[in-house]
Chain A
Amino acid sequence: MAVSPIVIGMTLAYFAVIFGIGYATRKASANPMDYYVAGRKIGPVVNGAALAATFLSPASFLGLPAFIFLLGYPFWWGMIGVIGGMPLASLLTAAPLRKYAPVSFTDYYCDRYEDQKWLRILLGIPILLGTWAYVVLSLVGTGLFMMAILRIDYTLAVIIGAVAVLFYVYMGGMVATTWSTAFQGVLMAISAVVCGLAVLSAYGGFANMAAAVQTATPNFWMMPHAQEAFSHPLMKTWTGVVGFFFVWYFGFATMPYSVVRFFTAMDIRSARKSVVWCGVFGGAMYWGLIVIGTAARNLIEKLHPLMGQPMVNPDGTPGVISTVMHVLSRIKADFAIGGAAVTDYSMVAAIESLQNPWLMGLLVAGGLAIAMSTAAGWVVVGNVLLGRDWLGKTFGNKWAIDNPVQALRVMSVVILLIGTLYSLNPASLILDLSGWAFVVSVATLGVPLIFGLWWPRATRAATYATIIVFFPLILYSWLYARNVLKSPHWFFLSEVLFGKDARIATPHQIYWIPVAAIFFIIVSLLTKPASPKAVKAYCEDLH
């Protein structure tokens, strides 16, 4: 299929804006505080759009419509949980952390728990894991979008994406990241909403679309327990629905890449209000994704240009593309990107079915926006950790202390270089690891953060213990569920507790986060609390 000049033009316009922002904000390198936290001058609308674009990754734009495609209506609840968790941040972390006004994500822990060296090193491990996993995921998303829509070579697409992110992060640090990410947040919301409206228009409205989906896939709308059939084995019991609701619920308030955006707000009021705007942009985008994901299977089968084309069956005999899985398998075979799942192409294929170059142009711009903004969000977390926290503060490197902006720039290059290398032919395990990184971040970083802010009795020993215990434990349970039970969404003890071949759907977040919180409380109660001065300054006075 030839690429329309409209699609190419819209992609070039997107890159022109991104590079323009990077160039226009280059003066931020003159002041380290601008480079670290955008001089704490960002208003609520810009910060809210940037929050939405940073927190919502390609896993949202490509992955969640694919989840609806696979799991049916019950997965809507998973998406409700993502946006539903945003208001928590308003009072739990946004307001107190902006009042405290740190420079890096690890600063709060080090001050609150009175440990400037070893705790900073330990905290860096889950942060770097998240940086690596999400930068790879985002660059793969960037590559997939450009390759699937612009038909350019995947390796070249990944390199273009990485160079663009590096350019604006390098030039303007957090100032460039904030403004470009805010632009990307608005763009991704517009892209999803317009594509969602186009899908509805193709059907002639909600009613026709719902009826078409019901006719083609009668199990799509089935919630567990209400009827004998179910939409997918993972949604056979209530634990699947409730589990998916909580998968991303606690992330927004605690994940490093969203929390650091509160440091850039101009004041506490602005930090709180940016959460409102984040909901406006993020919620709009999710409405569009719900519509697209719901219609995707039916839309591809009815309208995709590959339908009816010749194909080769698995046994080598000639055949005709006649099902949605044929279409997606053909796209996957044509592009052959490492471990990307066949359903990862369903979002692009659904919009491709409408055969409208303006929509495809908007989709590629929106897809690039969400992918690159998440990559940039993690790079600015990772470069501060490596260049300032570890190199400067922990190891006392004179060059890093004397040249703070240069240190961050070098670390940005290192992070994006490693991310690019892993993105060129990603194994499915590496793409899946972002799911593990998410649970680990919330359990090992989020729990000590929330208790540190809201519980005077929270201790340094509990923070150490939570990271040391839950980092490997979650890795084990996650890998066991993924490799032995064949999906990370099954409870890893299903067979141990309920017998061979038993499967209970409970994504890891639903049990590991409460278990980590209880563990943290018990260890805190058994160990020495922080000094009254630290508790007053970094807990009580921040409320």
Chain B
Amino acid sequence: MFKGMKPYFWWGNAVYFAWVAIIMFWEMTTPGVPYQVQAGGIPLSFFYNGIFSVWILPTALSYFFWYMGELDDKKSAANQEVNKGGR
């Protein structure tokens, strides 16, 4: 099952879920976190969840998957050239 899936898919998702689990656990075990933990009077939750988790992290993860796919494509193209005796 999932034979052929790139390892970076699992690594990327592991990092994503580690982040989600750590933040969720922190918020559920430390009283008042989403509002009382602040930076410059602004609740930190606006930054780590309101911007980072909902926008930056998923977009960065999609970009990472796309970028790694590009590298894979380049490697396979180079291998094909070698196999043809081109380089």
Contact = CB atoms under 8 A, between A and B. Distances in A.
Contact of B32 (A205, A227, A276, A278): A227
B71 to A, nearest CB: 12
A451 B2 CA distance: 8
A540 B1 CA distance: 11
A268 B66 CA distance: 10
Contacts of B9: 91-92
Interface in A205-240: 205-207, 210-211, 214, 221-227, 238
B18 interface: no
Contacts of A269: 66, 69-70, 73
B32 A221 contact: yes
Contacts of B5: 91, 454, 543
Given A73-B45, A86-B58, A223-B28, A210 B12 contact: no
B14 interface: no
Interface string B33-74: 111001011110110011101111111011101100110010
Nearest to B43: A210
A412 B51 CA distance: 39
Nearest to B53: A80
Interface stretch (A107-115, A284-292, A336-344, A379-387): A284-292
Interface in A20-61: none
A272 B32 contact: no
B50 A87 contact: no
A73 B34 contact: yes
Given A206-B43, A207-B42, A287 B50 contact: yes
Contact of A83 (B35, B38, B58): B58
Contacts of A211: 41
A359 B65 CA distance: 36
Pick the most buried of B2, B3, B34: most chain A CB atoms within 10 A of its CB.
Answer: B34
Nearest to A86: B58
A101 B70 CA distance: 19
A73 B53 CA distance: 14
B19 to A, nearest CB: 10
Main secondary structure of the interface of A (DSSP, over half): helix
Nearest to A541: B4
B27 interface: yes
A540 B29 contact: no
A453 to B, nearest CB: 9
A455 B65 contact: no
Contact of B62 (A80, A222, A241, A276): A276
A227 B32 CA distance: 8
Contacts of A120: none
A226 B42 contact: no
Contact of B59 (A245, A279, A540): A279
Interface string A265-295: 0001100110110111001101100110000
A195 interface: no
Interface residues of B, number: 46
Contacts of A207: 38, 40-42
Interface in A283-318: 283-284, 286-287, 290-291
A105 interface: no
B2 A226 contact: no
Contacts of B55: 83, 279, 283-284, 286-287
Interface in A68-115: 73, 76-77, 79-80, 83-84, 86-88, 90-92, 95
A275 B65 contact: yes
Given A87-B16, A210-B35, A275 B28 contact: no
Pick the most buried of A83, A227, A268: most chain B CB atoms within 10 A of its CB.
Answer: A83
Nearest to A241: B24
Contact of A283 (B2, B34, B54, B73): B54
Contacts of B35: 73, 210, 214, 221
Contacts of A86: 58, 62
A242 interface: yes
A238 B1 CA distance: 31
Contacts of A540: 4
Interface string A236-273: 00100110010000000000000000000000110011
B78 interface: no
B83 interface: no
A275 B16 contact: no
Interface of B: 1-6, 9, 12-13, 16, 20, 24, 27-35, 38, 40-43, 45-46, 49-51, 53-59, 61-63, 65-66, 69-70, 73
**9 A-B pairs with the lowest CB-CB distances in the bound complex, closest first:** A283-B55, A543-B4, A207-B41, A279-B59, A221-B35, A87-B61, A90-B65, A206-B42, A87-B62
Given A86-B58, A276-B59, 6 more contacts: A77-B49, A87-B58, A91-B65, A210-B42, A279-B59, A280-B59
30 contacts: A73-B34, A80-B54, A84-B16, A84-B57, A86-B62, A87-B16, A90-B62, A90-B66, A91-B65, A91-B69, A92-B9, A207-B40, A207-B42, A211-B41, A221-B43, A226-B27, A226-B31, A227-B32, A238-B28, A242-B24, A269-B70, A269-B73, A275-B66, A279-B55, A283-B58, A291-B50, A454-B5, A455-B2, A543-B4, A543-B5
